[in-house]
Amino acid sequence: MVTLKQEDFGTFKGETVKKYTWTSKSGFSVSVISYGATIQSIKVPDKNGVLADVVLGFDDLDGYVNRNSPYLGATIGRCANRIGGAAFDIDGVTYKLAQNVNPNHLHGGIVGFDKVNWQSTIEGNKVTFSYLSKDGEEGYPGDLLTNIAVELLDDDTLRLVFQSTTTKKTVVNLTNHSYFNLAGHSTGAAELYNHVISMNSNKITETNNESIPIGSFKDVGGTPFDLRVPTRLGDVIENSTDLFDNNFCVATYGEKHLTFVARVTHPGSGRFLEVFTDQPGVQLYTANFLPSPEDEALVGKDSVGYRRHGAFCLETQNYPDAIHHDSFPSAILKPGDVYIHTVSYRFGVLQSA
């Protein structure tokens, strides 16, 4: 039995920001706020039944409005990840976007989907967040209407279903940007390194030194990206500031069904996370750009200082910069078609723990 509670989380530009909290019979709970359609909290019991919040975030709205440059928990759009050169052509027309990362475009621009207050409606235990992005917003063509249906299932699976329609041909690639640490959001890199990960991927998209795909693929065999068997994260990233921030190609991707993407476990607590999606790619990111140990930390929930390698992201998505590569799945949405992206996050406790 799942219960759902609604409360106010603050005010943004005269609008009430709402917070929705789902709780299951195990004590597992998820909170999502309407600002940025953002996952604010996920509390998961460990092998002893002790709850811990396993996503990075903020206690109040001010944190999300003024300090959330890493996109903690946020919905990303219109286009997640990077677009090379911050421009693209559709039917001979060039659309110029914000150059908000070097000369390129990242995560929808200056005011992306993470920086607006979404409308929300409740139907049973499902909450649908809705946002209308107007033609020309952040340089993108077409009025784009997006709905995100959020639901907690009885088996402690959090399911998100993104749907978009447009009035003109446009680029769409939506994702959620939650930062997970299954030991608890406050435990930092020391416990992140103890996580064990396996991924359903045998190749990554190759990129240049600005993280823009060059159109080719790299087999993971014999590289640090070979996570096809369970691998302790610390064994591959502990001495590297760069790993990971890469798009992994889902090996058995199929648009008509959800495919297993990744499984992450934290042996100490016994918690695990399994991710399933209908998307062709997933960005594995290990919070490389959070503050380094010698810099001032980003202060999050419970006054915890968040730092580099303090969490991991699994951002299900189309391949980055797909608009510029014919060999990638198309990122163009046409009038009359519906963009659909489903992702499920299943949480639990290891039976042997």
Which amino acid appears at position 233 of this protein?
L
Cα 272 to Cα 33, 44, 129, 183, 353: the distances in Å are: 24, 10, 27, 10, 11
3-state secondary structure of 197: strand
Domain ranges of the chain: 3-349
Query: Which residues of the chain fall short of a pLDDT of 70?
Result: 255, 352-353
pLDDT for res 252: 85
Lateral strand order in the sheet of 245-250: 213-219, 201-207, 245-250, 281-285, 313-317
pLDDT for res 155: 97
pLDDT for res 352: 64
CA–CA dist 326, 308 (Å, integer)? 35
CA–CA dist 183, 56 (Å, integer)? 12
CA–CA dist 53, 183 (Å, integer)? 9
> pLDDT tens digits for 298-325?
999 999 999 999 999 999 999 999 999 9
Cβ 106 vs Cβ 70: under 8 Å = no
Cα Rg, the chain, nearest whole Å: 19
pLDDT for res 351: 84
pLDDT for res 222: 96
Residue indicated by tokens 């390129």: 104
CA–CA dist 37, 211 (Å, integer)? 26
Question: Which tokens hold the place of 330?
Answer: 């198309």
DSSP 198: E
Global pTM value: 0.98
Q: What are phi and psi of 168, to 5 degrees?
A: -140, 160
pLDDT for res 255: 67
Question: Which tokens hold the place of 282?
Answer: 């997933």
pLDDT for res 327: 96
Q: Distance between terminal CA atoms of the chain? A: 25
Active site (catalytic) residues = 177, 315
DSSP string, 304-329: -EE-TTS-BEEEEESPTTGGG-TTSP
CATH architecture for segment(s) 3-349: Distorted Sandwich (2.70)
Cα 312 to Cα 99, 105, 135, 244: the distances in Å are: 26, 22, 34, 9
DSSP string, 131-189: EEEPTTGGG--S-EEEEEEEEE-TTSEEEEEEEEEESS-EE-B-EEE--B-TT-TTSHH
